[in-house]
Structures are given as C-alpha cells and as structure tokens.
Structure 1
Amino acid sequence: MTSHENPQKPDLEREVDVRARRKLRAKKRAGSEVWFGLGMMGIIGWSVSIPTLLGVFMGLWLDRNYPGGRSWTLALLVAGLALGCWNAWYWVAKEDRAIREEQEDDDI
C-alpha cells in the first residue's frame, strides 16, 4: 500500500472523527447560535405579521370603498394570517433541511 492510497477508516475511527468535527464546529458557532435564533424568530415573526397586516389594511380599504354585507377586513385578515403561517412553515422547513443535510454530510 502506498502513502497516496486512502484505506477506508474503521467504523469506530470514522465515528470519532465525525464527532470531533461536529464538536469543533459547535464551538465555533456557540456565540452565533443565539443571534441566529433571534434572527430566525424575527424572520418568522415578520413573515406572519406582514401578510396579516397587509390583509387587514386591504380589507379596511375594501370595506370603506365597497361597503356590502361581508366584512372584507375579517376575510383578508384570515387569508393574510394563513399565508403568513404557511410562509413561516416554509422558512422553518428550509432551515431544518439545511441542518439535516449538514449532519448527513458529517456522517459520510
């Protein structure tokens, strides 16, 4: 066997290597995780509140300019809230996928 060949590591050695790399990366990110968490809360909060408020304002405008038997404000508030919740779910799922992919890359 030459020095250029890379034999496959035994399972225990590979597992120790993976865990050591995870630990080093976690130490590097330890301070930034708090800011990352706060940033994610902000993204999720704004992704729900912006569509909800836009729905309310559009509903108020429609109720003033086109009065009728229905409350456009209430209908568009619910629609904006539903859109905002879907948007928040999308961001959380996207981040979850990224975290899982990173962990899978470490396991290889």
Structure 2
Amino acid sequence: MTASGGRPDGKMEEAARLAAKRVRRLREDPEPSFASRLGQIGVLGWAIVAPILIGVAVGRWLDWALKTGIFFTAPLIMLGAAAGLWTAWRWMHRQ
C-alpha cells in the first residue's frame, strides 16, 4: 500500500510479476545439469584434440614415408589446431 492508504505500490506489483516470469522461464527452459555441462566440456575437448591428433598421425606418416624429419608434422599440427578450434567455435555458437 502507498503511504496514503490507496492503491498497492506499483513497484511491488512489478517485482512480483518479474519473479513469476522468472519462475515460468525456468520451468520452460531449465538450466542444464552438472553432468550435461561436463558432457559439453568433453565434446568440446575432443572437437579440439581429435584434429590435432589426426594432424600428428598424418604428418608423422608423411615424414616417415618421405624421410623429411618433422617437415610435415609441424604444419599439420597447426592446421589440426586451427580446424579443431574453428569446429569448437561453431559448435558453441549453435548451442
């Protein structure tokens, strides 16, 4: 109520309306569980690591076959890292 005893305070009504809206939103779209978050972290980790490992494997094989030291391994690691980070970036923005 206002100080004069008239209508209920508009600020209180607005606060109650916002609280009800928050509760409704949480019911409709709940926060992901802890296990779900861990799963997402695992997917992101593998999305970055897998292309790097593929780059290492292909680079080592090319270096072995062509007897070139680490001529192919180093750039393929960098390309794998770039591909993995780009893939992870795209996946995060789709979530």
| Corresponding residue of 2:8 | none
**Misfit runs of 4+, over 4 Å:** 12-17
Structure 1 or 2, whichever has the larger Rg, is: 2
Correspondence list, 1:66-77, <5 A: 66-68=66-68, 71-77=71-77
Alpha-carbon distance, 1:39 to partner: 0.8
> Percent of aligned positions with the same letter in both sequences?
33
Indicate conservation of the 8 Å contact 2:63/2:69, yes or no: no
Give the distance between the partners of 1:51 and 1:85, measured in 2 at CA. Answer: 9
- TM-score, structure 1 normalization: 0.63
| Corresponding residue of 2:23 | 20
Give the distance between the partners of 1:61 and 1:71, measured in 2 at CA. Answer: 11
1:44 aligns with 2:44: yes
SS of equivalent to 1:63: helix
SS of equivalent to 1:68: coil
What amino acid sits opposite 2:56 in the alignment?
V
| Corresponding residue of 2:81 | 81
How many positions carry a matched residue from both structures?
Answer: 81
Pick 1 or 2: higher relative contact order, CA cutoff 8 A, min separation 6. Answer: 1
Alpha-carbon distance, 1:42 to partner: 0.5
- TM-score, structure 2 normalization: 0.71
1:39-80 deviations in whole A, cap 9, x for unaligned?
110110000010000000000000000123761011100100
| Corresponding residue of 1:7 | none
